[in-house]
Amino acid sequence: NAGVTQTPKFRILKIGQSMTLQCAQDMNHNYMYWYRQDPGMGLKLIYYSVGAGITDKGEVPNGYNVSRSTTEDFPLRLELAAPSQTSVYFCASSYLGQGAGEQYFGPGTRLTVT
């Protein structure tokens, strides 16, 4: 199994541009998550999904959108990129819900907005 994969690994955006961060998992996990990590800080939850067609906001959802059309994929959309969105973005998945099982993380996407 490839586990959780993320593309791209790195990206530089200009202010106001848009992009989609891709995330896929091949473990047939129902739960998927997007986090961001600013330098020297812990991870913050942006959005999560408990299954195809169901998404919900996390701690820091403003400026982002998600969709979950399949079990495998959970893309994160940035509209009108701002410098405050410069961060490392991690996607994760789990078989059980957040309080009941471990999460598996992807390698991250490093995004710079200038």
Partner 1 sequence: DAKTTQPTSMDCAEGRAANLPCNHSTISGNEYVYWYRQIHSQGPQYIIHGLKNNETNEMASLIITEDRKSSTLILPHATLRDTAVYYCIVQGGSEKLVFGKGTKLTVNP
By CB under 8 A, the residues from 14 to 43 that bind partner 1 are 33, 35, 40-43
Is 111 a binding residue for partner 1 by CB under 8 A? The answer is: no
- Which lies closer to partner 1 via its Cβ, residue 99 or residue 114? 99
Q: x/- string (CB under 8 A) for partner 1, residues 50-89?
A: --------xx----------------------------x-
Is 99 a binding residue for partner 1 by CB under 8 A? The answer is: yes
Measured on CA atoms in the order 16, 85, 88, 72, is the torsion positive or negative?
A: negative
Which residues make Cβ contacts (< 8 Å) with residue 56, sequence separation at least 6?
Answer: 47, 48, 49, 50
Measured on CA atoms in the order 22, 28, 32, 37, is the torsion positive or negative?
A: negative
Figure out which of the listed residues 20, 22, 44, 86 binds partner 1, where binding follows CB under 8 A: 44
**Where on the chain is the footprint of partner 1 (CB under 8 A)?**
4, 33, 35, 40-45, 48, 58-59, 88, 90, 92, 97-100, 102-108
